Amino acid sequence: MKIALAQLNYHIGNFESNTKKIVDAIHQAKLEGAEIVLFSELAVCGYPPRDFLEFEDFIQKCENVIDEIKQHTAGIAVLVGSPSRNPKIEGKDLFNSAYFIADGEVKKIIHKTLLPTYDVFDENRYFEPNKTFEIVEYKGKKIAVTICEDLWNLGNNNPLYTICPMDELMQFKPEMILNLSASPFDYEHAEDRKHVLKANAEAYKIPIYYCNQVGAQTEIIFDGGSLVIDEKGNVVEEFQYFNEQISNINLEKMDSLQIDICKLKIEFIHDALILGIRDYFQKMNFKKAILGLSGGIDSALVLYLAAQALGKENVHSLLLPSEYSTSHSISDAEQLCKNLGTSYDIVPIKNNYEAFLQTLNPYFKELPFNVAEENLQARTRGVLLMAFSNKFGYILLNTTNKSEAAVGYGTLYGDMCGGLAVLGDVYKTQVFELCKWINRNEEIIPTNIITKPPSAELRPNQKDSDSLPEYDVLDKILYQYIEKRQGPKELIAQGFEAALVNRVLKMVNSNEWKRHQSPPILRVSPKAFGVGRRMPIVGKYLS
């Protein structure tokens, strides 16, 4: 049987665009001789639709798309994801479903059984879990249809669930598994997915066609990487990452060869961030970006990524030197703009900053220079950047990295301003890795930006290490605490100094209130700040 996988980039709630993509893919698959075309989870409305699902009009529009798809299924079957109504009185109003459509009719609706409620997922809020099991029979083939998480409880060993959908489906002796998925990206997840799918194929001795979504939905990035795996657990087809792709697969005519698209973790992060920026702007109908370019490594990396995502002509920088800015910070920033071909303006903040100080002097009187004057510089820059944003229609990109966001090393309404936090899930040490990887063939980011000690340049001779532990140590502690959920006892047992552990964890917890006022953060790690990490602001733990 020839099955097409349509790995597409959907736009949540944009039914016109999503319908066109789906219909075009059906016709392409049909022209290439496919008998079934497989789409991803909730493709009709885009994933995750969240509280849009609570609107009757939204569900009706989903049903209208299904009616439209039916008109294009002569000679081909379509398996597409959409919410469906629960006709029973008890339970949630909706199912997360897969519609099997052929010859102009909905032949079967299969519901998702395992509804994840961890990290970025909150499906149990909206959907009723499936409790009955059946397969699809088409052209003499018995097909087990599963939706994303349904394959993630192999052997019923996942403590989050009490049922294994595939164990239930195997009683019908299916000949293949078709899986509709919306599996978000993180730099560890591609291999995890591959391992789980191969393990399912090996355990049940059945081939798997796995179609994943691609594209960014605000902070959540989907990487694609759809897979076809034979009954022995061999990967026979692996789709592109971070790109749309439609391909027809005839498993019976394919060699059982191990095919892997190998990427470095840092390359995955690079590609994900570019897709995240591009989709955020396109789906929000934004055109141009602006950022404050300090001559430091974070803003340099954001400028590079934005230029790749949006085109160099659509990115503008402001160089906003103060009396504490070094001359090489300006020259490094200028050189970067020349290397990338992006436009910039130099707008010194000295006069603006002094005007603020003069206004505040009667109240500050003879109090010593401290964080108030430092933050005033950052907020002066924020005012100027937002003025350019309003006047010229730019969207301000935030350049704060995850290390800084974690410990509160940023100024609200200053360098924490922006419409999108590009590096908020990228640790400082990873920022250095990314810049070195970008420069692997030629110097794009000036070497001096990478090698000089990080500094906010808000007072004479300031260095980040004056206020923070060295980043190579800090990031290890942060990673263990945030991603691995290791508490102080575990961290100290790993060999970190107790006083340092307590200091760092206290900074993380006591700055939760700041992070709640941050722009949305592009998620690239297994545990990002934002929707996937829900901490109380006023909690006392370790504070």
User: End-to-end distance of the chain based on CA atoms, in angstroms?
Assistant: 60
The total of other beta-carbon atoms located within 10 Å of residue 83's CB is: 22
Question: Where do we find the tokens 């439609």?
Answer: 246
148 is catalytic: yes
Tell me, what amino acid is at 26? I
**Cα distance between residue 386 and residue 406, in whole Å:** 24
Please give the DSSP secondary-structure letter assigned to residue 454: P
Catalytic residue among 41, 123, 219, 374: 41
The answer to whether 136 and 145 have CB atoms below 8 angstroms apart is yes
User: 291: burial class by Cβ within 10 Å (0-12, 13-18, 19+)?
Assistant: buried
For residue 333, give the nearest of 449, 461, 453, 463 by alpha carbon: 449
Sign of CA dihedral 438, 439, 443, 447: positive
**Cα distance between residue 470 and residue 251, in whole Å:** 52
What's the token pair of residue 411?
A: 């100024």
User: 301: burial class by Cβ within 10 Å (0-12, 13-18, 19+)?
Assistant: buried
The string of DSSP codes covering 313-382 is GGEEEEE---TT--HHHHHHHHHHHHHHT-EEEE---HHHHHHHHHHHHHHHTTPPP-HHHHHHHHHHHH
Quick check: helix, strand or coil at residue 131? coil
61 is catalytic: no
Catalytic residue among 30, 108, 112, 283: 112
The answer to whether 41 and 181 have CB atoms below 8 angstroms apart is yes
For residue 226, give the nearest of 434, 43, 15, 28 by alpha carbon: 43
The total of other beta-carbon atoms located within 10 Å of residue 278's CB is: 19
366 is catalytic: no
Catalytic residue among 35, 45, 128, 148: 148
The pairing of strands 77-85 and 36-38 is parallel
Sign of CA dihedral 396, 402, 406, 407: negative
Sign of CA dihedral 69, 183, 117, 509: negative
Which residues have a Cβ under 8 Å from the Cβ of 6 and sit 6 or more positions away?
A: 22, 25, 29, 37, 38, 39, 40, 211, 246
The answer to whether 357 and 373 have CB atoms below 8 angstroms apart is yes
Quick check: helix, strand or coil at residue 95? strand
Q: Which residues are known catalytic residues?
A: 41, 112, 148
